[in-house]
Amino acid sequence: MAEYVAPTREIRFVLDHVIDMAELLKLEPFQEVSDDLVQAVLEEGGKFSSEKISPLYAVGDRQGSVLADDGVKTPDGFKDAYQAYVENGWNGICGPVEYGGQGMPQVLGTAVQEMMASANQAFTLCPILGQGAVEALEAHGTEEQQKTYMEKLVSGEWTGTMNLTEPQAGSDVGALRTRADPQADGTYRISGQKIFISWGEHDMAENIIHLVLARTPGSPEGTKGISLFIVPKYLINEDGSLGEKNDLRAVSLEHKMGIHASPTCVMSYGDNGNCVGYLIGGENQGMRCMFTMMNNARLNVGILGLCAAERGWQMALDYARDRRQGKAIGSTSEGKSPIIEHADVRRMLMTIKSTTEAVRAIIYLNALALDMGRHHPDGEVRRKYRGLADLLTPISKAYGTDLGVENSSLAVQVFGGMGYIEETGIAQVFRDARIHPIYEGTNGIQAMDLVGRKLAMDGGEHWQAFLGMTEDFIAAMPEIGELAQYRENLSRITADCRESAEWLLAQQKQNMRDVAAGSVPFLRLMSMVVGGYLMAKAAVAAQTRLESGTGNGDEDFLRAKIATVRFYGEQVMPTAFGLKEMVMGGDSLFYAIEDDHMAL
């Protein structure tokens, strides 16, 4: 299997010419982040990804993590690679400066995370979870809690987890039963069991800080009665050193379809009645605290979908160049043709390439919006960017992960029969990707979040602002003949998206089941509008650089960019033409057959 190669030129093009990171870098917190520094971060991040963690990708899949008497053992090389990751400062790249972080913008951290997870997603899942813990502590922790945990979490010396799911609850978080009984010293005793806890136990870091949702005695039913607790694997002494082991353990590891190196644990708390937890954010405020972690996690999972698509793309392209089979139509060369010359293989490769580039742009814009929403000095500008980030988060997560599965499946198809053979390695990409649409709220939940909450937010201001911006861009697009069809198609689906959104908002007052029925096709429709707008920006930027002579030796790259954008607009975008009818079709056919008759 070929090792991953970071697409640093493509990433830099998106940062500079599609989402315009330069505007962000003008803000006071980031004025020392120079172009040279950005390039150095990308180059070194790509180098670390390809040299240190990509070689462990197949090793992790074959060996997996294993539960032993003294805890979970990770595959060969993982522990050393993680120590190198921490020592090189990668974990703290976006961390708060006051706790030892480097304070880089999240959008640059997103680019680094893409490279790391494309190289080895099972490995990268571990530090991703720590990011959520840092955000929760920064937003809701007491000064003492921040002093105790933040520095080690930011550096990566300690890792974090999110403990939400229980066997009887699943996505219905309000059904959880884990208890938190208050003690005279202000601590709580945690008791219960959690499932599907990624990296809940491992040997790569000296401590694991679990963030656990639980109920205090007498709390209200449902989500209103949930609180969040810090539950460290090892208790912390007053001087900051590690104390005795807490009363918690990994009972078992799930046997999964993919990401075998990432230990997915069943965690048990308080088997001996002495699991110490510390309340964070106040009693019955667990959902508020959880969503601080969850929004971060949803964007991160979208990045994982992008990474599956990128890794699958690289492997499929390499194979298609090398594999010779048959004679391509019109070929004048001697012997068999590389399969990349066959039209159907080209169709699959260009589909993967164009949609992957669209998802990358969406995710990077989402991260930029989060940065601007936190750091812009103007309060009204911050509010608008936060609204944009809220709108884009379910799109990044769901469209990104759907395409991760679709594109890695296409990559298997490019390999043909050899794709079904584990030795080629492409099957691992597909297997690993399949969890992403389920992670952190299934994509159906993301669609309902988009249509049920985000469309109506602030009176519909944010989706209307985005569609208005898209419409203005379409109207102002320069007359580039080869983009005429693209422009027409983008205009059509943007109009369909506006009409669909207005219909869904009207249905919210009449029949919420109609809204639910139309939610998934609407999310795909709006995703393609966002992706189409950003890809159009990419094409215009590429054409401008070609015409102005500022391509700096990138002329072939820029011409390929325009061709890729055209493929997205003329071959992918038309698949959205029927989505409006699906959105507005209502719920009646969903329930036209009685439950008992479904099997007839």
The confidence band for 385, taking pLDDT boundaries of 50, 70 and 90, is very high
Mean pLDDT of 271-297: 90
Give the mean pLDDT of the chain. 95
CB-based contacts of 166: which residues, under 8 Å, 6+ apart? Answer: 175, 176, 177, 178, 192, 193, 194, 195
Name the pLDDT band for 118 (thresholds 50, 70, 90): very high
Res 176: pLDDT:
86
Between 322 and 334, the more confident residue is: 322
Q: What does the alpha-carbon distance between residue 123 and residue 90 come to, in Å, rounded to a whole number?
A: 13
- pLDDT of res. 172: 67
Asked if residue 2 has pLDDT above 80, the reply is: no
Distance separating alpha carbons of residues 202 and 72, to the nearest angstrom: 5
Phi and psi (nearest 5°) for 212? -120, 125
pLDDT score recorded for residue 170 = 63
Give the mean model confidence (pLDDT) for residues 481-488: 93
Average pLDDT for 265-279: 97
Q: What is the dihedral angle through the alpha carbons of 512, 517, 521, 526, rounded to the nearest 10 degrees? A: 0
The residue whose two tokens read 């990044």 is 396
Q: What is the pLDDT of residue 283?
A: 93
The Cβ of residue 51 has, within 10 Å, a number of other Cβ atoms equal to: 12
> Average pLDDT in the 73-87 region?
98
The token pair that represents 273 in the structure block:
């009645």
Find out whether 275 and 191 touch, Cβ atoms under 8 Å: yes
**Mean local confidence (pLDDT), 150-171:** 90
What pLDDT was estimated at residue 480? 77
CA atoms of 592 and 415, how far apart (whole Å): 41
At 164-217, the pLDDT tens digits run 888 877 666 767 899 999 999 999 999 999 999 999 999 999 999 999 999 999
Six-digit token string for 476? 């102002």
Q: Where does 451-483 have alpha helices with state H?
A: 461-476
- Give me the pLDDT at residue 297, please: 87
Pick the catalytic residue from 201, 310, 440, 499. 440
Task: State pLDDT tens for residues 12-60.
Answer: 999 999 999 999 999 999 999 999 999 999 999 999 999 999 999 999 9
Query: What's the pLDDT at 155?
Result: 97
For residue 167, the SS3 value is: coil
C-alpha span between 304 and 318 (Å, rounded): 21
Averaged pLDDT, 85-95: 96
Q: What is the pLDDT of residue 33?
A: 96
pTM summary value: 0.96
Domain boundaries, the chain: 442-587
Structure confidence at residue 415 (pLDDT)? 97
Contact 583, 521 (CB under 8 A): yes
Residue 391 contacts residue 464 (beta carbons within 8 Å):
no
| Mean pLDDT confidence for 221-228 | 91
pLDDT at 315 over 80: yes
Find, among 357, 349, 359, the residue nearest to 318 by Cα. Answer: 349
pLDDT (mean) for 95-112: 96
What pLDDT shows up at residue 331?
Answer: 82
Residue 168: its pLDDT value, please?
A: 74
* Burial bucket for residue 244 (CB in 10 Å: 0-12, 13-18, 19+): exposed
Determine the Cα–Cα distance for residues 322 and 516; give it in Å rounded to an integer.
Answer: 46
> Does residue 294 surpass a pLDDT of 80?
no
Place 532 in a pLDDT band, splitting at 50, 70 and 90: very high
Is 440 in the active site? yes
Report how far residue 280's alpha carbon sits from residue 232's, in angstroms, rounded to the nearest whole number: 13
DSSP one-letter code for 393: H
The predicted pLDDT at position 335 comes to 87
In this structure, are residues 18 and 541 in contact, taking their beta carbons and an 8 Å threshold?
yes
The whole-number pLDDT of residue 194 equals 95
Q: Which of 400-424 are b and which e, b meaning 16 or more Cβ less than 10 Å from the residue's Cβ? A: bbbbbbbbbbbbbbbbeeebeeeeb
* Per-residue model confidence (pLDDT) at position 43: 98
On the question of pLDDT at 143 being above 70, the answer is yes
Distance CA 43, CA 49 (A): 10
DSSP 8-state class, residue 246: P
- Residue whose C-alpha is closest to residue 132's, from 38, 47, 230, 261: 230
On the question of pLDDT at 477 being above 80, the answer is yes
